[in-house]
Amino acid sequence: MNDMTAPIKLTSLAHGGGCGCKIAPGVLTEILKSTPFRIVPGELLAGSENNEDAAVYKLNDQQAIVATTDFFTPIVDDPYDFGRIAATNAISDVYAMGGRPIFALALLGMPINTLPLEVVRRITAGGESVCAEAGIPIAGGHSIDTVEPIYGLVVLGLVHPDKIKRNSSARAGDSLILGKPLGVGILSAALKQGKLSDEGYRRMLEYTTRLNRPGVEFADMPGVHALTDITGFGLAGHLLELCRGAGLGAELKWHDIPFIPQAVEHVKAGIFTGASTRNWAGYGGEIQLGAGIEEWQKQLLTDPQTSGGLLVACARDSEAEVMAVFSRHGFADARKIGSMSDHGSGIAVI
């Protein structure tokens, strides 16, 4: 048994952390190209096409099941906080489809000879606390002995078949509203370098453990046309998925995008993740940057978010209602950041 008087830094056991561990978008595209032909039943309403946030399978005229899974290596050193962040992130994909989560299964991979069992217990306890907050049980799961610590969930939810919110149904002229500020990946990089302040850590936890509950209400709003959550591919990458799915372009207004203040400070000092660089290499050719946009600003656009905010594409006359939903759930940082356009493709940042 390890000496608990010398706490192990969880992030030191992982080559990456959080959604920054995602395979680079270009590499993932190449992998999926070779996926063999599969049978796709008519009841499968959403699958791997256009990188939807979760799969949706129709059970009957009133119910469809939403299924997703997400897991990663530690983004923070505190085991309880790691569990909370991982669980919040996994549940988010159900909310991003307009679904209501109903239960979860735990996915656990731990270096048992390296980590004390109490540390592992704290990780799972953190995940359980978030599931309790979401009103769902962890009904089982699977665990293995691994080299790096890995934790996450399989999450199942329900949605009305006619109320699914996809990431491919945005319309020209739609307003784009972002629920959480950007910069979590940069804060995680600062943490690994020992440069993150207590206040920066508090803000990081505040956003990564806030459940994206507004997604359930968005399912009942006809004016919400498309929905996704911002995770490992950054704001730019996930917005590009909306653009490709709808055959549209998007325009972002830089000064309207919300950022975590501490993240801006760190990225200006040259602190960012390798994943943000890989993200730009994978899709940067589809982004037109306005005059004066500097390198640090580009890093924020591609910064991998862990348990990031919902991105809503809605009719302009639904903006106030969407903002009211965000406000009611405590998302004070939600902002309109741009709009969808039928002029060209890709993203223009002005």
Helix extents (H) in the chain: 25-33, 79-95, 117-134, 184-192, 198-208, 214-218, 234-246, 261-268, 274-283, 295-302, 319-328
Output phi, psi for 314, to 5 deg: -135, 160
Backbone torsion region of residue 262, taken as left when φ is above 0, otherwise alpha when ψ lies between -120 and 50, otherwise beta: alpha
Cα separation of 32 and 30, whole Å? 6
Amino acid at the residue 141: G
* Residues 6 or more apart whose Cβ sits within 8 Å of residue 234: 182, 185, 276, 279, 301, 302, 303, 304, 305
Handedness of CA 48, 54, 55, 58 (dihedral sign): negative
> CA dihedral in degrees (95, 88, 179, 73; nearest 10)?
-120
Cα separation of 220 and 203, whole Å? 31
For residue 280 the two structure tokens come to 């730009």
- Tell me what percent of the chain is helix, strand and coil, each rounded to the nearest 5: 40, 25, 35
19 tagged catalytic:
yes
CB 132 within 8 A of CB 97: no
Enumerate the active-site residues.
19
